[in-house]
Amino acid sequence: MPGFELFGEKERESVNDVLDSGVLMRYGFDGMRQGHWKAKELEKALTTRMQVKYAQVVSSGTAALTVALASAGVGAGDEVIMPTFTFVASFEAVLAIGAVPVLVDVDDTLTLNPDSVEKAVTEKTKVVMPVHMCGSMADLKRLKAICDNHNLLLIEDACQAIGGSYEGKPLGSYGDIGCFSFDYVKTITCGEGGALITDNEKYYTNADHYSDHGHDHIGNNRGAESHPFLGYNYRISELNAAVGCAQIQRLDEFLNTQKRHYSILRNSLEEIEGVTFRRVPDNGVENYSFLSFFLPSGDLARKIHSSLTNGGVDACFYWFDNNWHYYRKWEHLTNLKSLGKLPQEVRNQLPDYSASDFSLSDKWVGKTISCLIKLSWSEEEVKARALKMKEIIGSLL
């Protein structure tokens, strides 16, 4: 990760197909296309790879989450349970449709704590949205049981975990809807892009219409299409989709490389007393895009992270102090800083996050360091990195 590290001839050829046709929009201009429909091609590849009936590609992972929620009928005043450790896009998508993000703790998987989810369910809860951060998944079996018991939707934010699996099912396909990001720093990239997948025909049809101003896409005259309901513009361009078409063909290549590099680093760190690793739920396979490990305390984690950085070991993250991925720095959410007036339901129902107790999350995230696994490393570079990390961490424990 990320896929841009290995751009090559497949990506260039696919993009040139679009440039040669001159049609950069995913809809219409049938006669000019020379048979190239890159967004449709990417959707077909996704349904095959993710073992689902339907896929809708859109302009970003944030768009995928927004469209997924709207397509499932989530709206003003509905509560969406999500983790304290995620990217801000997760709660932005919830707020964009007037729904209410309800943060709950994570556990040693660094994803949603099922016990905390159960306690957070109210009569207004509509969705449980696990976020498979840093390439590994939540305890989906337990979360699905909670959803089934309370008649809730399970929507997977798998934006950082494409290629992982749970109980033999690709991540994103276990819940009612799954979402992916194909932005510039994901395992496979479109430059900018995203997708949602589902086996539910209604949700797919809604997503198809909603992401294109409500167009019903019936017939071959775009100007004559009907608009059964309000929609917005979350379309992907053919240029972006073209990059994705090439990259998804290479997903297994990327995953194998990530696993190989991950294993070298992990085998080295496993020899250090005091280092432990995030829990991957039983029957789960991560996508190996990050190696996340725990130190004995938050103070040690912060000190070791600083030493790794100063020692030239780049791409290691201490999420506890991160501005974008952990609740502690989300002042714009806590204080509802918005350019426009937010729905009254949000103002009335949003918990007071300035007073929330997320000590269970702090316990785990506070002592976590995550190392990005790069595709472009040579084996010699990975081994040298493993040795340096082992030396630095070992000297401080």
Separation between Cα atoms, residue 161 and residue 65, nearest integer Å: 15
Measure CA 247 to chain center.
17
Q: Distances in Å between the alpha carbon of 106 and those of 24, 364, 371?
A: 42, 8, 19
Strand 125-128 vs strand 153-157: parallel, antiparallel, or unpaired? parallel
Of 70, 89, 83, 75, the residue nearest 128 (C-alpha)? 83
Give SS3 for 290.
strand
User: What does DSSP assign to residue 227?
Assistant: -
Amino acid letter at 61? G
Separation between Cα atoms, residue 288 and residue 274, nearest integer Å: 22
Q: Is 186 a catalytic residue?
A: yes
Structure tokens belonging to residue 79: 């509560």
User: What does DSSP assign to residue 280?
Assistant: P
Separation between Cα atoms, residue 279 and residue 106, nearest integer Å: 12
Separation between Cα atoms, residue 383 and residue 162, nearest integer Å: 26
Rg (CA), the chain: 21
If one counts every other C-beta atom within 10 angstroms of the C-beta of residue 376, the result is 11
Residue 35, φ and ψ in degrees, nearest 5 = 80, 5
Residues 6+ apart with CB under 8 A from 314: none
Contact 318, 93 (CB under 8 A): no
The single residue of 38, 126, 144, 186 carrying the catalytic annotation is 186
If one counts every other C-beta atom within 10 angstroms of the C-beta of residue 262, the result is 20
Separation between Cα atoms, residue 293 and residue 30, nearest integer Å: 51
| Cross-strand bridge partners of residue 285 | 165
Catalytic residues: 186
